[in-house]
Amino acid sequence: MGYKGWNMEKEMRYAVLIDADNVAAKYTKYILDEVSNYGIVTYKRVYGDWTRTNLAGWKNMALDNAITPVQQYSYTTGKNATDSAMIIDAMDILYSRNIDGFCIVSSDSDFTRLAIRLRESGMHVIGMGEKKTPKPFSTACNAFKYLEILAEEEIQTDAAEKVEMKTLESAIIRIISENANLQEEINIGELGSRLQGRYPDFDVRNYGYSKFSQFLKDFDCLSFRQVGSSILVSQKSDKTDLEHIESVLESIVATNGAKGYNLGELKKQLCAKVPDFDVKTYGYSKFSKLVENLPGLKIRNNTVMISKK
């Protein structure tokens, strides 16, 4: 779930174009949730012949999610006119210069050339489709998401009712885990923006809170770290406290490679990452003694190095 194409300095704008002939309406929420991880959706269009009964499921879904349905009659039996309409619209949107990327949703390989052309123009292209999607289309995109996998990760809730706490907890954990390829923590403001992107009607006041930070403290699965004026949020580790401390220390030491890490500086870095760290909690009076007893580390001339296991 990489975000290499995501410019963190500005909010990316995306056009979502959906081929209703090749994608089921049940995936709508998962599609929009996923794109919200990358930026703001400014165009939402779904293409098909709305006179056909097999697209009935899309009509309500498009209305509920403010997606513009685009009528495309099937002029010739066996020919997919929807593909042509999507491609023409995509090029019109591209030349408008109002967006930064596209999300092309289809299980049809006919969009391979479109994806390549959009990327050649500097667009970030996200593809989505079912697992049956031909390889050429998926590899032509910057990122490709299989709809069945997205659907497995989250259960769709009734949009007419207030989002329940358990559903929000799952969404928060998922957002943090999706950020793991960038860093283990996520800024609380960024977390709030992504959550709002998934649930536009979300408001902490609905749950009796005046601040988002207070609302998050209600979730036992989350940890918080203050860095200057920023609050970083992460998911609590399943490891024991000492295992977690050892893991953090090893990751810090590893940043200096074979040179190792000064013992005093290592303690400062640990306290910055784990503000409530106290060596006495683990039965030691000195930090050096704790480090000496960790199997993954060793001390030589006041320098801490990774121990070969």
Tens of pLDDT, residue by residue, the chain (309 residues): 434 344 445 689 999 999 998 899 999 999 999 999 899 999 999 998 888 887 888 988 999 999 999 988 765 444 455 678 899 999 999 999 899 999 999 998 889 999 999 999 999 999 999 989 999 999 999 999 999 888 876 544 443 344 577 788 888 888 888 775 556 788 999 999 888 888 877 878 777 788 898 889 888 888 888 888 888 888 876 555 778 888 889 889 988 888 889 999 999 988 888 887 888 877 778 899 889 888 888 898 899 998 865
Instruction: Report the CATH fold assignment for 12-152.
Output: Rossmann fold (3.40.50)
Identify the pLDDT of residue 120.
96
Identify the pLDDT of residue 183.
61
CA distance 5 to 143: 9
CA distance 81 to 309: 62
Give the SS3 label for residue 2.
coil
Name the architecture of domain 165-235.
2-Layer Sandwich (3.30)
Give the SS3 label for residue 180.
coil
CA distance 295 to 180: 26
Identify the pLDDT of residue 35.
93
Identify the pLDDT of residue 285.
82
Identify the pLDDT of residue 115.
95
Give the SS3 label for residue 121.
coil
- Backbone φ and ψ of 268, nearest 5°: -60, -45
Identify the pLDDT of residue 114.
95
Identify the pLDDT of residue 309.
54
Identify the pLDDT of residue 88.
93
Pick from 211, 225, 200: nearest CA to 277: 225
CA distance 140 to 297: 45
Question: How much of the chain exceeds pLDDT 90, in percent?
Answer: 33
CA distances to 28, 182, 272, 274 from 227, rounded to whole Å, are 37, 18, 8, 11
Identify the pLDDT of residue 101.
96
**At residue 282, what is the residue type?**
Y
- Pure H helices in 121-164: 135-140, 147-152
Q: Which strand (E) or helix (H) includes residue 99?
A: none
Identify the pLDDT of residue 10.
66
DSSP annotation string for 193-239: HHHHHH-TT--GGGGT-SSHHHHHTT-TTEEEEEETTEEEEEEPPSS
CA distance 203 to 226: 23
Q: How would you classify the pairing of strands 39-48 and 12-19?
A: parallel
